[in-house]
Structure 1
Amino acid sequence: MARIALVCPAYYSHLRAFEALGQRLSALGHMPVYVLPEGAETMLEHASPATILLPHEPVSRVRALIGRASGITGVSGILKAVGEQAANTDRFCRLAPGLFRQEGIEAIVADELEPGAGLVASCLGLAHVSLACALPIERDPAMPLPFLDWPYDASEAGLSRNRGGELVGGLFMARQRAVIRRWSQRFGLGIRADDVACLSPALRLSQTVPGFDFPRPSDARLTPVGPVRAPATARTGADLPFAIAPDRPFVFASLGTVQGHRFDLFQTIAAACARFDVQLMIAHCGGLSRAQSERLDADWVVDFVDQQAILQRADLCVTHAGLNTVLDCLASSTPMLALPISFDQPGIGARIAHHRIGRTIAGRRVRPGNFSEALTDLLAHRADYARRIAPIRAEIESAGGTERAADLIDDLIARTVGRPIERRFDAAKTAANDSDHRPRELSAMS
């Protein structure tokens, strides 16, 4: 069995997926080691038997990064976010080779958001698996970039539009790509131009199932496994501690952990729902103060709730279009009113509109009028929306989830770990010594 590095950024939804995967890999006899920015270990739900903490990220710094991520808007915000990600990748490439060698890491399972993992895996000759917790970054030319809300268009006009989007996206990602090129050269890997070039050549896992995605070519390398979640008890919504009336529509609204502070948007949602004979629950995930919560005109305002159980009972979900929430809605056949705000949410909202399983309004364009119009349509035709969700729900149920993801990783490790591989530890050591900073001592919890 192998000692596996699980490389994950400091985002709650991504950490939940990696924790679930780590638990399953442990049950299969492997030894998962979480690789996190220092401070992010406090975000884990369960104590880990082993964690590698990459230095220079105290708790306050990690919290500040999450706080800034929640407010990313405009060109300047995107450039700042890319700059921070580039610095994270540079730090990872400097420190990970020595730490992984010290810890005896034999395989890497990495979030697609950290391209440095692919570079380090190639440098050290380690088995490598990519996991897309968000929309996959691997794309077909007819598929817009994940952070764009453009519809799917395989015509020449659509392809031309997407090429323009790629050009602008490349300008935004210039700092990150410069880091990737520099470290691929230092590691003796030639030149890798972008994050897609750093994905695993052997196994790429995705939570997004084909029925919810835009069309991909038949030779796409992605293996869809559906939601990667921890095992849960049966959730029917029947025993919730809320007196939900069965004869009135029930609307659940959540903007996730990163966007849960958006009080003005919650106010708009609550004011619009108040015009309808519906029951409204708002879950702000700890983003609002008590005073703000008390000012919202909703039947229930909570911080956290068993979302999967609530959605089993909900007639409609108002969501920021985060992938985890959307997958929960699809798994419970709950129509959505998506209000994408940032990251890959616009691309997810475009897919909701493409498959006609909900309505999408860009978060910055939400007004009482267009929100009420969409709400009227969804409540009046929710059976039609649920019927279109049904085949996607069936696909999610058969995709395999956490167990299949872990089994595929286990199979890859069985075929690769322990075989004679040319390892480039010397190249990694030389590259780290050539940098301005030395790898700090491993910070681990065992």
Structure 2
Amino acid sequence: MESSGHVIPGRRHIAIIAPPTAGHINPLVALGAALAATGSEITVVNLAEAAPLVADPAVRFAALDHSADRDGGLATYMSALARPSGPIGLPRMIRTSAAMTRLLLDTLPAALTRLGVNAVIADSVEPAGALVARHLRLPFVTAVTGLPLLREPMVPPPFLGWPYRPGVIGLNRNRGGYAVSDLLMKPITGTVAGYARLWGLDPDPRYQWSDRLQIAQCPAGLDFPRAALPPSFRYGTPWRRSEPDERLPREDERPLIFCSLGSLQGARRSLFAAMTRACAAVGARAVVAHGGGLSDREAASLPGDPLVRAFLPQTRVLQHCSAAILHGGFNTVLDALAAGIPIVAVPLGFEQPATAARLARVGAARVVSSRDAGRGALEPALRRVLTDPGYRRAARLFATEIAAGGGATEAAALVDAAFGGWADAMPATLRRPTGETACAA
């Protein structure tokens, strides 16, 4: 739904700025709907092609004014994200992400001004949100929809599957990893720094993080140990909208195994085939959600008599499953843990290897590389998580923690408090400039 520029005087109008992908927008829409219940107006501001992702009537959508052909549009962006690793895929993905950030930096200031926005929720992985908020002198909070990305010397870089290793060896290893990561990320960090200087702002990347609130949907127990979290940081539990129940056909008593590669990698037919074959080998039946990535012919050709759908309400389906084989996408991992089921993780890119390392550390998953998955390694890993009660026990501990958490409602209350006060609801044109405070990152 397109939002108008009219804002009720004194009413808070919050813009959500995030990458135009389901993995980020879906939980933020759940958070936005919970915030709307407190009386705020919530608008997701993004590319017009992202409008179908905003499916809750409590949350508005506003399209940016841009040329779809300028940087290839959403199709080019999604294509690069679908192949995020390797010597060709990784640099291409980073360059494409930098182009998306540049597009947002060019178009967001005018859009937020036109809409009468007076506060921003900025996804932590898209630096444009925080920088534009600073440029317009709008209060903002940081939403951490995936792993917390805050840098600490003893915590490995978030895009590597390194285990937590305290001590000098781990410290030196992490230092080298961050040096390489910083070099690879220069197309994005250089773009952000250039716009910061253009707008007369300090380009220090620490300003990307809100000193009001950094709210995560990550449970505290899933992250590596932290020693220097800023006072504004809060762990949480998943931000979800209610999904309809799904009755799966049960022709026999075989256990069900949920298989997913998320919304970006669902076209990997060979990996899905390895998953369904492993399920059949252990006497289970795969339940595949491919996100529209497979053709009908490809879906029908998967071995092992799987149940295959383009989309499934995974929070509901996972409750009927005995385990999950996942790529390590953060939302699906959280939903599997909420259902209390163990995981076989096959990380493909982004922060998925780091998520898998954390799952292995807490004992809720076995980790298999995508290469080994195609060589038969999924069967013994799946058999292990199904027969070793320690994996299910670890997953159920998270299920208890998540069930006791406040989810999107609790997160919305924290955001509402962080934006509290009449001065924060004033249009940016009426507020006096204030100094900036860097938040440790």
TM-score by length of 2: 0.89
SS at match of 2:64: strand
Q: Which of 198, 213, 218 pairs up with 1:203? A: 213
Separation in 1 of the partners of 2:393 and 2:26?
29
Alignment of 1:347 with 2:354, yes or no, is yes
Match of 1:267 in 2: 273
Separation in 1 of the partners of 2:154 and 2:87?
24
- 1:158-217, Cα deviation, whole Å (9 max, x unpaired): 11001100000011011111112212222222232x3x5412121111111111111112
Q: Which of 203, 216, 236 pairs up with 1:225? A: 236
Alignment of 1:139 with 2:146, yes or no, is no
Report the alpha carbon displacement of residue 53 of structure 1 after superposing the two structures with TM: 1.8
SS at match of 1:29: coil
Matched-pair contact (CA < 8 Å) for 2:341–2:396: no
Q: Which of 44, 53, 57 pairs up with 2:68? A: 57
Structure 1 gaps of 5+ residues are 425-446
Q: 1:93 to 1:283 in 2, by over 3 A?
A: closer
Pairwise mapping of residues 281-430 of structure 1 onto structure 2 (< 5 A)?
281-297=287-303, 298-381=305-388, 383-415=389-421, 417-418=424-425, 421-423=431-433
Number of equivalenced pairs: 416
Separation in 2 of the partners of 1:105 and 1:299?
47
Q: 1:313 to 1:64 in 2, by over 3 A?
A: same
Separation in 1 of the partners of 2:376 and 2:218?
32
Q: Which amino acid aligns with 2:410?
A: R
Separation in 1 of the partners of 2:225 and 2:129?
28
Matched-pair contact (CA < 8 Å) for 2:54–2:60: no
Separation in 2 of the partners of 1:387 and 1:206?
24
Work out the percentage of aligned pairs sharing the same amino acid: 30
Match of 1:106 in 2: 118
Q: 1:299 to 1:81 in 2, by over 3 A?
A: closer
Separation in 1 of the partners of 2:19 and 2:203?
24
Q: Over aligned residue pairs, what C-alpha RMSD do you find?
A: 2.1
Q: Which amino acid aligns with 1:16?
A: N
- 1:342-373, Cα deviation, whole Å (9 max, x unpaired): 11111111111111111011223323432222
SS at match of 1:280: strand
- 1:84-122, Cα deviation, whole Å (9 max, x unpaired): 222222232233223222322110001112112212222
- 1:297-337, Cα deviation, whole Å (9 max, x unpaired): 23312211121122111111011111111101111110000
Separation in 2 of the partners of 1:299 and 1:115?
40
Matched-pair contact (CA < 8 Å) for 1:123–1:423: no
Q: Which amino acid aligns with 2:233?
A: L
Pairwise mapping of residues 22-41 of structure 1 onto structure 2 (< 5 A)?
22-41=32-51
Structure 2 gaps of 5+ residues are 1-10, 435-441
Pairwise mapping of residues 82-231 of structure 1 onto structure 2 (< 5 A)?
82-192=94-204, 194=205, 196-217=206-227, 219-220=229-230, 221-231=232-242
Q: Which amino acid aligns with 1:32?
A: I
Between 1 and 2, higher relative CO (CA 8 Å, sep ≥ 6) is seen in 1
Separation in 2 of the partners of 1:38 and 1:126?
23
Matched-pair contact (CA < 8 Å) for 1:254–1:260: yes
SS at match of 1:257: coil
